[in-house]
């Protein structure tokens, strides 16, 4: 082998390794994506090497931003690049709750906590309406179901947390229905929880189907390039975007790959990533489904953040989600055992507690729950740190980011820019010690909520 050939091959190997470090290499495919027909990814490289706008990340945030730029600037050339296939990345791995209430009322900003919460609610309501219009207009078959959601507590500490949340709901003017143990047992088929409530502020979706549908209905001036990791981002406009196989340039760049923006030099001291895990049963027989309550579809949010989320789906399956790990995926055998135990403890009456799909998903958090949102420097825009609420929040803030890139002004954008900024994170290894310790503490505190 010639020396020049060895150098080329070595460079290709190094580029491939660098590319893989820019996105999660999951052990298992997303269960939601596995239920859909096989997707043929759009892997054909674009002929052009220069674009008006390049969007990095084809999740809910990136797709919303690209769509809004294309709508406001129909003459602009827009390229969306994603390291994975639409539906199998992080955006298709969540539990499919679209909750249009603040997940973190400590986002802060200008005004009283109630004023800030109401601003968030207004943004989420606008985002939900926009998403629904897209689903309806483009005929996206994602199981859109606005049936609300339950919150349930298995411990006294969890019950107090829920009651504290309801005190906030009263201030915000949000309606709810409180439920005793017997009422919960009647509605969701288990007496595991001693207290809970139901609110209408939620829509269920099949997340992989929704993100696929949004990707496949982009305006004609948007090009989607899948399975092509971005390796580096340089410059100050025009920007140089280097992927695993190409060098591109753009006048503007929108970075929407959540925690993996750190690999491109952004938000390194503000955002960190965690993995969370879910499992899905096979389609259950009608008599088994009846043991999970009479409603065709429902979902439970736990009283503790490290508790267990449950969802009975329209397709007759049951989904269990729980646990966090810092920056690295845990072995699937351990996760399967943990999720099986959570399922069995809540529903010992089921004939089987076996799962058909078990998977992990990565999300990005900030220390204070605030979103890393806005223009980093001229022509470079980001929305990072969804804090576990990426479908609706990502869609709305991605929409606003696209509008910001087009110079569009609105009261909604002003509100978004007025929220609290993410607080500083210490460097490694202090960061790891602090976050892992916090996870262990919350696991202990969660107790039976897990």
* Same domain, residue pair 227 and 291: no
User: Is 303 contained in some domain?
Assistant: yes
User: Is 8 contained in some domain?
Assistant: no
Q: For 45, list phi and psi in degrees, rounded to 5.
A: -65, 145
Backbone φ/ψ region at 294: left (φ over 0), alpha (ψ -120 to 50), beta: alpha
User: Is 122 contained in some domain?
Assistant: no
* Same domain, residue pair 312 and 169: yes
Average confidence (pLDDT) over 374-389: 92
* Same domain, residue pair 300 and 323: yes
Q: What CATH number has the domain bearing residue 384?
A: 3.50.50.60
Report if pTM > 0.85.
Answer: yes
346-367 tens-digit pLDDT: 999 999 999 999 999 999 999 9
17-56 tens-digit pLDDT: 555 556 678 999 999 999 999 999 999 999 999 999 999 9
User: Is 105 contained in some domain?
Assistant: no
* Same domain, residue pair 239 and 333: no
* Same domain, residue pair 183 and 62: no
Q: Check residue 237 and report its DSSP letter.
A: S
* Same domain, residue pair 60 and 184: no
User: Is 341 contained in some domain?
Assistant: yes
389-413 tens-digit pLDDT: 889 999 999 999 999 999 999 999 9
* Same domain, residue pair 329 and 278: yes
Burial class (CB in 10 A: 0-12, 13-18, 19+), 439: middle
When the pLDDT of each residue in the chain is averaged and rounded to a whole number, the result is: 92
Q: Would strands 78-81 and 97-99 be described as parallel, antiparallel, or unpaired? A: unpaired
Do 46 and 375 form a contact (C-beta atoms < 8 A)?
no
* Same domain, residue pair 442 and 421: no
User: Is 387 contained in some domain?
Assistant: yes
* Same domain, residue pair 306 and 441: yes
Percent of all residues in the chain with a pLDDT value above 70, rounded to a whole number: 93
**Shortest CA distance to 208 belongs to which of 94, 98, 300?**
94
Please give the residue range of the domain that contains residue 279: 146-205+273-367+435-449
Number of domains present in the structure of the chain: 2
Beta-bridge mates of residue 438: none
Beta-bridge mates of residue 311: 299, 319
User: Is 130 contained in some domain?
Assistant: no
- Longest distance between any two alpha carbons in the chain, whole Å: 76
Do 354 and 249 form a contact (C-beta atoms < 8 A)?
no
* Same domain, residue pair 183 and 306: yes
As a whole number of angstroms, the distance between CA 20 and CA 26 comes to 11
* Same domain, residue pair 201 and 212: no
User: Is 132 contained in some domain?
Assistant: no
Chain center to CA of 425: 21
């Amino acid at each position: 082998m010639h020396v020049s050939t060895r150098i080329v091959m070595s460079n290709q190997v190094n580029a491939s390794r660098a590319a893989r470090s820019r996105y999660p290499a999951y052990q298992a495919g997303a269960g939601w994506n596995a239920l859909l027909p096989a997707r043929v990814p759009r892997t054909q490289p674009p002929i052009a090497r220069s674009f008006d706008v390049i969007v990095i990340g084809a999740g809910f945030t990136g797709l919303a931003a690209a769509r809004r730029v294309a709508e406001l600037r129909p003459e602009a050339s827009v390229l969306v690049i994603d390291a994975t296939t639409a539906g199998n990345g992080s955006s298709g791995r969540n539990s499919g709750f679209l909750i249009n209430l603040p997940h973190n009322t400590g986002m802060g900003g200008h005004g009283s906590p109630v004023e800030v919460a109401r601003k968030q609610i207004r943004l989420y309501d606008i985002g939900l309406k926009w998403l629904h219009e897209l689903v309806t207009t483009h005929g996206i078959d994602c199981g859109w179901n606005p049936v609300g959601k339950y919150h349930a507590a298995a411990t006294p500490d969890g019950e107090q947390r829920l009651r504290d949340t309801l005190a906030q709901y009263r201030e915000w003017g949000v309606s709810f229905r409180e439920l005793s143990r017997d009422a919960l047992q009647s509605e969701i088929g288990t007496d595991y929880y001693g207290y809970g409530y139901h609110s209408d502020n939620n829509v269920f979706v099949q997340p992989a189907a929704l993100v696929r549908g949004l990707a496949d209905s982009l305006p004609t001036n948007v090009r989607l390039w899948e399975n092509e990791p971005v390796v580096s981002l340089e410059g100050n406009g025009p920007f140089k975007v280097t992927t695993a196989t190409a060098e591109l340039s753009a006048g503007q760049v929108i970075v929407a790959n959540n925690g993996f923006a750190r690999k491109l030099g952004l938000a390194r001291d503000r955002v960190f990533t965690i993995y969370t895990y879910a499992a899905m049963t096979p389609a259950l027989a009608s008599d088994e489904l009846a043991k999970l309550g009479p409603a065709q579809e429902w979902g439970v949010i736990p009283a503790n953040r490290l508790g267990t989320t449950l969802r009975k789906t329209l397709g007759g399956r049951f989904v269990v989600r729980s646990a966090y790990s810092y920056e690295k995926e845990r072995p699937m055998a351990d996760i399967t055992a943990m999720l099986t135990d959570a399922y069995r403890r809540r529903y010992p009456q089921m004939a089987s507690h076996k799962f058909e799909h078990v998977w992990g998903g990565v999300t990005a958090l900030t220390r204070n729950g605030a979103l890393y949102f806005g223009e980093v420097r001229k022509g470079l825009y980001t929305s990072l740190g969804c804090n576990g609420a990426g479908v609706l929040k990502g869609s709305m803030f991605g929409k606003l980011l696209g509008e910001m890139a087009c110079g569009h002004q609105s009261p909604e954008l002003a509100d978004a820019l007025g929220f609290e900024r993410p607080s500083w994170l210490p460097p490694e290894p202090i960061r790891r010690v602090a976050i892992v310790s916090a996870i262990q503490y919350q696991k202990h505190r969660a107790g039976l909520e897990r």
